[in-house]
Chain A
Amino acid sequence: MSTVTIDKAGPTRQVKYGSMSRDRAWALRWSYFFLTLFAIFSLVPPIYMLITSLKSSAEISAATNPWWVFHPTLENYTGLLTSNQFLRFFWNSAWVSIIVVTITMLISVPAAFALSRMKFWGSATLATGVFLTYLIPDSLLFIPLFKMFAVIGDWTGIQLVNRWYVLLFIYPTLTVPFCTWIMIGYFASIPKELDEAAIIDGASWFQTLTRIFIPVALPGLIAATIFAFTVSWAQFLYPLVFTTSTDQLVLPVGIITTLIKGDVFNWGQIMTGALLGAAPPLIIYAFLMDYYIAGLTAGATKG
């Protein structure tokens, strides 16, 4: 395979592609090997979930081959989708995520623009500070945060703990710093002359942001949006701590608290709920995949 004959005018020449093509062949073999390995590794759990979700409780507890469905049934799906409780969790999750994404974008895009372009005293320090706040783990933050909301409740009488909308205040502490940081990187990759041209053309700072920066940095904006959505959709610790009543729960916590009764695990519905819960981010990824990948790689090279 390393020898190719090319027909040219004049005598036929044999062109040998030596070590380059051999190296490439080996690199490809190794990439396929590891990619397959990781694909199996990451796909086995969801496949197992899908298989389990199609079984009845009796079949799950029976000592049959766990990788095969002998009596497929949709009872777990109909059970969950007709349960008001589950739909409530789903809507809570959806509302929280959508509102958090909106809040995050409204804060982090202008913040990133200001930090990357409008040079002001302390802007560089502030930019680093924004990122540092992201590094504080939520497992460390939830106790002081809980205390804060409890104290606010005591002082003002505004009860936020055990309300789904308390999450609207908490999730942005995770999403805003990271999204701001991503957008700072994006805006920094836009050449300085572009905003100077806009300013000379008569654009205000706000017009420069909305009419030049946001359209140009759209892939980054979408990457940040997906990140913010995923974080708020999948967040587990904060809703577990801050919400307890079943009508206030979001999906990840709702599934765990209502489908595990004492030491009885309703595996079929747990798996179904987890699968259904994973669907929205999956759909969003699928639609925005091209943008997302462009978003992750842009700025790596000057183009």
Chain B
Amino acid sequence: MADVTLRKVVKRYDDVEAVRGIDLDIADHEFVVLVGPSGCGKSTTLRMIAGLEDISDGDIMIGGDVVNDVPPKDRDIAMVFQNYALYPHMTVAENMSFGLRLKHYPKAEIKARVTEAARMLDITDLIDRKPKQLSGGQRQRVAMGRAIVRNPKVFLFDEPLSNLDAKLRVQMRIEIKKVHQKVRTTTVYVTHDQVEAMTLADRVVVMNHGRIEQIGTPHELYHNPATRFVASFIGSPAMNFVPCRIEDVGGKLHARLTDRLAFPLPPSRATRYQAVPRTDKLLLGIRPEHVAEASPHAEPGIEPFDAMLDVTEPMGMETLVYFTLEGTQICGRVNPNAGAQDGGPLRMAVDLNNMHLLNEVTGAVL
């Protein structure tokens, strides 16, 4: 077990910078997820921690030791790959024990570790099978077992669930979380799926264009995103962004969305945005769950308005509604009994206590 530290890590391929100076501190026992769109440098970062890619600049430390030039086998890490990468000619037990056998562990200990890991992952019955006789989920378990038996300092997961179908993915996600609760090994996990990131991570690292956009707990990222990229990447359906301006009306701060539509800001937000220049082009960021049907009684900060729905998507426990405001499509989440209909009118309300204000040019959340 160990902490992992990245200091100004850079990866250059010829003239392309895939990773542009990453600083990251991962504490012992922590489960950190690197998330971002494809090509954001998350996998490259993981592979540099593993030692499968050289680093062009900066330092990587595992357990306090700089490992820049340490070969992968001496870094004491284990990695789980997207396509499982099981050795096809070996049985499950042989696959799991390969690393230990290379290090000449005593036979009894190898057997004990494999048995223990197999029990933990519920693959005891499969121990003598070859990988081709296993289903995708079982293969993924074996790949995890191969990592667990090594008892390494750090687990590295490279999009381990991407090859599984949706149902199995949810199941394996829970499985991974359970395993981490039992073995508590420091884990770095790469995924492009923000749901995986949110559900698994102690802390999420959102990456974009080879840089870290924001590091934080799932809760922090969801409720206090630092940039427009994070705000739109985290959460599904994604946050709505509506062009707006701040203006003073009768001594109170208002967010003006259109000529006819302006919302007074609740006191907490008004003080926060007081200093924002009135001429700046801004975006009002609001999550779909804060755009709901209007309730009969007025509540502070919740402002009603009329919307003409374009499309509704009944999900069962809620209905997603889509409408257009000055050319911008907005998604809201309403009660299935609110009477939302395709092409029909609905009295909606926006909860401005949970609004975000973004600078349209810089993308920064104000």
Contact = CB atoms under 8 A, between A and B. Distances in A.
Interface of A: 191, 193-194, 196-204, 207, 211-212, 215-216, 218
B72 A200 contact: yes
Contact of B102 (A196, A203, A215, A218): A203
B81 A196 contact: yes
B150 A191 contact: no
Contact of B99 (A201, A215, A216, A218): A201
Nearest to B73: A202
B85 interface: yes
Contacts of B146: 197, 201
Contacts of B150: 201
A197 B73 CA distance: 10
B98 interface: yes
Contacts of A207: 102
The A interface, classified by DSSP as helix, strand, loop or mixed, is: helix
B89 A201 contact: no
Given A201-B73, A201-B146, A203-B73, A212 B87 contact: yes
Name which of A194, A199, A202, A203 has the most chain B CB atoms within 10 A of its CB: A202
Contacts of A204: 73
Given A191-B85, A201-B73, A216-B87, A196 B98 contact: no
B272 interface: no
A191 B83 CA distance: 9
Contact of A200 (B78, B87, B89): B78
A204 B102 CA distance: 9
A216 B85 CA distance: 12
| Most chain B CB within a 10 A radius of its CB, from A197, A215, A216 | A197
Contacts of B103: 202
Contacts of A211: 98
A211 B89 CA distance: 10
A91 to B, nearest CB: 36
Contacts of A216: 87-89
B350 interface: no
A199 B73 contact: yes
B73 A196 contact: no
A204 B74 CA distance: 11
B79 A200 contact: yes
A86 to B, nearest CB: 42
A197 B52 CA distance: 10
Contacts of A197: 79, 81, 85-87, 146
B50 interface: yes
A287 B87 CA distance: 26
A182 B248 CA distance: 77
Contacts of A199: 52, 71-73
Contacts of B81: 193, 196-197
B73 A200 contact: yes
Nearest to B132: A303
B205 interface: no
Contacts of B72: 196, 199-200
